[in-house]
Amino acid sequence: MDWEIIVGKSSSGIEFNMADLEQFQQETRDWLEENCPKAMRKPMRAESDACWGGRNFEFQSEDQRNWLKLMGEKGWTAPEWPSEYGGGGLSREQSKILKKEMARISARPPLQSFGIWMLGPALLKFGSEEQKKEYLPPIVRGEIRWCQGYSEPGAGSDLASLQTRCEDKGDHYLINGQKVWTSYADRADWIFCLVRTNREARKHLGISFVLFDMASKGVSTKPITLISGKSPFCETFFDDVKVPKENLVGTLDRGWDIAKYLLTHEREMIGGSGGSAFGARGLGEVAVSALGADDDGQLSDTALRAKIATAELDGWAFLLTMERTKDEAKAGQGIGARSSMLKYYGTELNKRRFELMMASKGLSALEWEGEASNEGELPRAWLRTKGNSIEGGTSEVQLNIISKRILGLPDPKVV
Amino acid sequence: MALVYTEEQEMVRDSAKGFLAEKASVSVFRKMRDAADSLGWSRALWVEMAEMGWAGILVEEQYGGLDFGMTGAALILEEMGKNLTASPFLSSAVMASQVLRGASEAQKQAWLPKMVSGEAIIALALDEGIKHDPAGSQLQAEKLGNGYRLKGSKTYIIDGFEADGYLVLARTDGEAGDKEGLSLFLVDARAKGISTSSTKLLDSRNYAGAKFDNVEVSGGDLIGEAGKGLDALEPALNAGRIGLAAEMLGASAQCFESSMEYLKDRSQFGQKIGSFQGLQHRSAHLYCELELVRSAVIKAGQDFEASAEHSGMIASLAKAKSGEVAILAANEGVQMLGGIGMTDEHDMGLYMKRIRAAQELLGDYAFHANRFAKWRGF
């Protein structure tokens, strides 16, 4: 019968059919109804509403703490990770249902986590069985908060030239050096870090991927203030930090493979921000409510209207492209270097959108302090977008990647 | 719905690819242009395309069509865009077929079988000025007993020279600019009082101006309701705009491919010019833009299949974006090819000319950006 068509396969190999999915949906709905606290059923208003978990996290409320605890126990903070590592063990279809059911009641994400977004996928692909067993479950439960140690003062776009030294001292590694742009380094419990383990080899072949506790002796951090004001970014210093040798992930000197894999992930996340500015209100609507419309409901400022129309057209076409890329990935065509396209176009588009948002709000967009402007929320957000096309690989680096990997254009001749 | 092609759609694309490569490549188009053929397309080739099912690809099955859907038709147009294939596919098979869905049984019986077999083509006589503006129509349809008398003229009719029938947008009420009061008539090209002349545009395709000098039509020639002509036309306009967006996607993709080949082949300053970052970044940017166009074209086809009447917003998105990017692709093509790109001997110029025409037809960027903005509430 039709409804018995196999529609999904979980990572544990169990097959699901339509009837099972319907049952799963009902059970999920019931469970959420019963367990999601009322206070967690409204959208986050600000970054401060987000739950990051970790050893030192100050929960905003008991509801926030409980919501994380309940979801973590079910593994639904990482729905598609295998259940033996604490994940939800859900198939893609089930995971979509969970997402839909959470959206139905406007449930907040129980946890924001670099562990889930970045380290987890890397460990699942490159980690040893012991590492998966040790590190993944506390990530799922939100007990350990991770940060990422990639960029250095002398290694930005040319990340592979990083110099943080990691020496083999027999029974441990000794790490010395400096990272920069480490998000939330001052609040994270552990770091996943790229270090140089071989100074003789070519630059890509002497890098390793190690994990260590930020409470280790010799680790210190210093927050960075951006043009937009406070930021999660830090400078991070390592001064004779001792790291157990079993904390190496994958093969010694081959950490670049892991780094590349993770950078692809990061690009998709940042590229996706081109869509986030869409929200419920389009740019045009913002401009009409700020500047007024003519009798036909058209924005009175016709030159601005034309610019906004172009940005909206591009925004829609870009959103459709993100959707299509996901659909193609599901159909097995993979994303690969096309994540560079999403990153490049999404961040550049976001910058354009915020320029127009600033223009639409006129002088009021310049208010930097005070309640009316929510302490300068718009101009700070506008300034912050300037970093989107720098972090995670600059727009220029993305264009280089597209030229080489997708278009197959020859390497520039080194003079 | 996932924004990917189905297996059946991929098969249609593959067969179009094979057919066009063999029978209707750019060199075929170039020969036709050089011969200054006033029809601008080949009747024999159109009959062959009809045998492939293309002439009836959007026609209901009971009238001999395939009813295959807009996404498939768009894929054929994309391949035609790559090959610069000239045919009445867009005007007759894609657009007129949509208007005929709302026609009377007698009109369908009279025209659809002939259209599906490739014997007859129908052109849409819409515009009267130099910018696309159906609502601006002034051509008069005066009530005459049970019928009407058509008086006025139409310009730049796509495939209008030597067409067998015309769908004429005429005013039964109101004045130029009114959205109400327009009516759509299906008229045999042999009707007394119609005279047409070929209009030569830069893309060497078939266009015509037509004069309607007291052409008498019956009430049975009306499509749908009097005064509701723009509603009857909407699905056809959406189909035509999506079709042109798809054709321009194919043409731009071809410009891009030729440019990339040239960048990998041509050496200056002792290295392949494709190794210069100044060209690499522009190429990579154009690649991204083309991906955006493809997403919009796929979505527009799917929206049209879900509801032909309500696909206008995404049809406008696809037409605007595809036209904008096609112009960029053609300009970059000529610039990256350098001097050779300026010669008539190279095909790049032929693409540039077709793209310039296609982006203007049925509404240019400003026209569709304006429509899109209205839909979005500003």
Residues B30-70: tens digit of each pLDDT: 999 999 988 999 999 999 999 999 999 999 999 999 999 99
- B68 and B132 belong to one structural domain: no
Tell me whether B131 touches chain A (CB under 8 Å): no
Which is nearest to A175 in space by CA: A140, A219, A224? A219
**Which of the following is catalytic: A152, A266, A268, A348?**
A266
Residues B331-372: tens digit of each pLDDT: 999 999 999 999 999 999 999 999 999 999 999 999 999 999
Tell whether the torsion through CA atoms of A330, A332, A336 and A337 is positive or negative: negative
SS3 label, residue B196: strand
- B90 and B195 belong to one structural domain: no
- B234 and B342 belong to one structural domain: yes
CATH T-level assignment (fold) for domain A2-112: Butyryl-Coa Dehydrogenase, subunit A; domain 1 (1.10.540)
Q: Residue B341's Cα: distance from chain center in Å?
A: 26
pLDDT at A414: 67
Query: Does the pLDDT at position B157 exceed 90?
Result: yes
Tell me whether A411 touches chain B (CB under 8 Å): yes
Q: Which domain holds residue B45?
A: 7-119
pLDDT at A1: 27
- The single-letter code of the amino acid at B361 is L
Structure tokens at B365: 């960027």
Please indicate, yes or no, if residue B218 is contained in any of the structural domains.
yes
pLDDT at A279: 45
Within the 358-397 window of chain A, which residues sit less than 8 Å (CB to CB) from chain B? 396
**Nearest CB to B275 within list A285, A345, A411:** A411
**Nearest CB to B281 within list A317, A321, A399:** A399
Supply the ipTM of this predicted assembly: 0.94
| pLDDT level of residue B114 (50, 70, 90 thresholds) | very high
Tell whether the torsion through CA atoms of B153, B158, B163 and B169 is positive or negative: negative
Please indicate, yes or no, if residue B114 is contained in any of the structural domains.
yes
Tell me the CATH number at B160. 2.40.110.10
- B48 and B176 belong to one structural domain: no
pLDDT at A12: 41
Please indicate, yes or no, if residue B282 is contained in any of the structural domains.
yes
Structure tokens at A117: 């977004």
Query: Does the pLDDT at position B303 exceed 90?
Result: yes
- B196 and B238 belong to one structural domain: no
Looking at B209, B228, B247, the residue that finishes a domain is B228
Phi, psi of B198 (to 5 degrees): -70, 140
Please indicate, yes or no, if residue B2 is contained in any of the structural domains.
no
Please indicate, yes or no, if residue B69 is contained in any of the structural domains.
yes
Mean pLDDT of B296-300: 98
> What domain count does chain B have?
3
CATH 2.40.50.100 fits A272-406, yes or no: no
> Inter-chain contact A413–B281, Cβ cutoff 8 Å?
no
pLDDT at A262: 87
> Inter-chain contact A399–B280, Cβ cutoff 8 Å?
yes
Residues B87-110: tens digit of each pLDDT: 999 999 999 999 999 999 999 999
**Nearest CB to A400 within list B3, B4, B280:** B280
- B223 and B240 belong to one structural domain: no
**Nearest CB to A406 within list B287, B292, B293:** B287
> Inter-chain contact A317–B292, Cβ cutoff 8 Å?
yes
- B209 and B169 belong to one structural domain: yes
Pairing of strands B122-125, B165-171: parallel
Please indicate, yes or no, if residue B1 is contained in any of the structural domains.
no
Beta carbons within 8 Å of B294's beta carbon, 6+ residues apart = A321, A324, B249
Looking at B72, B95, B119, the residue that finishes a domain is B119
Tell me whether A103 touches chain B (CB under 8 Å): no
Tell me whether B266 touches chain A (CB under 8 Å): no
- B224 and B234 belong to one structural domain: no
- B131 and B106 belong to one structural domain: no
Q: What are the Cα distances from residue A324, in Å, to A11, A150, A272, A398, B4?
A: 24, 30, 13, 20, 7
Q: How many Å lie between the alpha carbon of B276 and the closest alpha carbon of chain A?
A: 6
pLDDT at A269: 63
Q: Residue A185's Cα: distance from chain center in Å?
A: 15
What is the overall mean pLDDT for chain B? Answer: 97
Q: Give the domain ranges of chain A.
A: 2-112, 146-255, 272-406
| pLDDT level of residue B281 (50, 70, 90 thresholds) | very high
Residues A2-26: tens digit of each pLDDT: 322 333 333 344 455 778 889 999 9
pLDDT at A10: 38
Tell whether the torsion through CA atoms of A93, A99, A105 and A110 is positive or negative: positive
Is the separation of the CB atoms in A389 and A348 below 8 Å?
yes
Structure tokens at B314: 């995404």
CATH architecture of A146-255: Beta Barrel (2.40)
Tell me the CATH number at B338. 1.20.140.10
- In the numeric block, the tokens 């699942």 are attached to A124
Residues B181-202: tens digit of each pLDDT: 999 999 999 999 999 999 999 9
Is the separation of the CB atoms in A325 and A342 below 8 Å?
yes
Which is nearest to B60 in space by CA: B16, B118, B108? B108
Is position A130 annotated as part of the catalytic site? no
- B139 and B220 belong to one structural domain: yes
SS3 label, residue B372: helix
> Inter-chain contact A321–B295, Cβ cutoff 8 Å?
yes
Tell me whether B148 touches chain A (CB under 8 Å): no
- B366 and B238 belong to one structural domain: yes
Looking at B65, B84, B119, the residue that finishes a domain is B119
Which residues in chain A have their CB less than 8 angstroms from residue B377's CB? 282, 284-285, 288, 297
A360-378 per-residue burial string, b: 16 or more CB within 10 A, e: under 16 = bbeeebebeeeeebeebeb
| Residue B307 burial (C-beta neighbours within 10 Å; 0-12, 13-18, 19+) | exposed
* Sites in chain A below the pLDDT cut of 50: 1-14, 273-280
> Inter-chain contact B366–A306, Cβ cutoff 8 Å?
yes
- B95 and B150 belong to one structural domain: no
Beta carbons within 8 Å of B253's beta carbon, 6+ residues apart = B78, B81, B82, B290, B329
pLDDT at A270: 59
Is the separation of the CB atoms in A185 and A191 below 8 Å?
yes
Please indicate, yes or no, if residue B11 is contained in any of the structural domains.
yes
Strand partners, A175: A166, A241
